[in-house]
Amino acid sequence: MILRILKSREALLIAVIAALLALIASRFPAFIEPTNLVNVLTDTSPLIILALGQAIVILTRCIDLSVAANLALVGMVCAMLNVAVPGLPIPLIILIALGLGAILGAFNGILVWKLGIPPIVVTLGTLTIYRGLIFVISDGAWVNAHEMSASFTGFPRAEILGLPILAWLAILASIAFLIIIARTPLGRAFYAVGGNPHAAVYTGINVGKTQFWAFVLSGTLAGLTGYLWVARYSVAYVDIARGFELEVVAACVIGGIAIAGGAGSILGAILGALFLGIIKNALPVVGISPFWQLAISGAAIVIAVAFNARAGRAKGRVILKRAEAEALT
C-alpha cells in the first residue's frame, strides 16, 4: 500500500514541487517566505479552479478548449454590469457569473451530447464564438479600474485568516470536487464513461448526459473565474486570458489526468496547477522571461502525455504477463 502511494503521480509531483522550491530557495530564500507563498497560491488560484473543471471533462474522454473564452466573456459581462449598476450586490454578480458560465458550458455539452460533434471541434468553435461575442457586446472597448466599483474589485483581494478570498475559493472548490469525484454517483460515472463508454452503457450510465454535466461544471467554474479575474486585475477586454486554456490542459495532464479519459485524480490536477504556478512565479525571479511559460507548458504537455502513454503500456504488459501465468497454471 505504502509502496503504491510512493509510486503514484501525486507523490511524484509533491516531491518535484518540494525539490523545485528547495532549488529556488537555495538562490532566492525570500521565495519560500510565507507571504510570497500566499502570493503564489493566489496567483495560481484561477488556474486551479479551471483545472478542476477541465479534469472532469478530460476524464470523460472530452476536452474543453473554450474555458478561457468563457472566462473572458463572463468577466466582460460582469464588468459591464458593474459599470451600468454600480450598486449591484457582489453575491448577485457571482450568481450571474456562475449561471452564465454554466449556460456556456451547457451549450458545449448539448452539441457534444445531442449532435455527436467531437468535443475538440465543438470547443474550438465556441472559443471563437465567445471571443466574438465579447467584441460585439463591448464594441472592442476596455472596462478599466476607474470605472469599476471598490466593492467589485475588492472582493477577491479581501483577506480571511491571512488568505485572500480568491485563494479560499480555490481551496473550497478543490474540496468540493474531491468530494464529488470520490463520494457521488456522478463522480464515479465520469471515470466509467472515460474508462469504457460501451461498458458504462450496460451499467445504465448515459454517456452523453454524463459528458454534458462535465461541460456544465467546467463552464460554471470558468464563469466564476471570469468575475474573479477581471475583479482582481481591474480590467476587462477582448483578449483577456487568451491562450490560458493551454495552461489549464497542461495542469491536468501534468497531474496525471489521462488525455484518453478514465484515469487520473483531482488531487493530481491541483498539484499540476501548483507546479505550473510555481514555475510562472519563479521565472522572473531567476531572470527568465515569463513569455517562456507557454513554451514550458507546451513541452510539459508533450512530456506528460508521453509519460502517461508509457506507463499505460507498462501496465498493459503486466496484465498480459499475469494472464499468461494464470493460463499456464
For the stretch 4-18, pLDDT in tens is 544 577 888 899 889
- For the ranges 46-60, 190-204, 239-253, the one whose mean pLDDT is highest: 46-60
pLDDT of res. 202: 83
Measure the CA–CA gap between 65 and 175, rounded to whole angstroms: 24
The lowest-confidence range among 55-59, 129-133, 297-301 is: 297-301
Q: Per-residue pLDDT for 63 more than 90?
A: yes
How far is the CA of 151 from the CAs of 52, 158, 315, in angstroms? 27, 10, 53
Residue 178 buriedness (CB in 10 A; 0-12 / 13-18 / 19+): middle
C-alpha cell at 302: 508533450
The percentage of residues in the chain with a pLDDT greater than 90, rounded to a whole number, is: 54
C-alpha cell at 224: 466564476
- CATH value of 41-309 in 1.20.120, 1.10.3470, 1.10.3210, 3.60.21: 1.10.3470
C-alpha cell at 299: 513541452
Question: 113 near 212, Cβ under 8 Å?
Answer: yes
Pick the residue with more confidence: 243 or 271? 271
Residue with cell 464564438: 129
Q: Angle, nearest 10°, between helix axes 119-138 and 90-115? A: 140
Q: Is the pTM for the entire model greater than 0.75?
A: yes
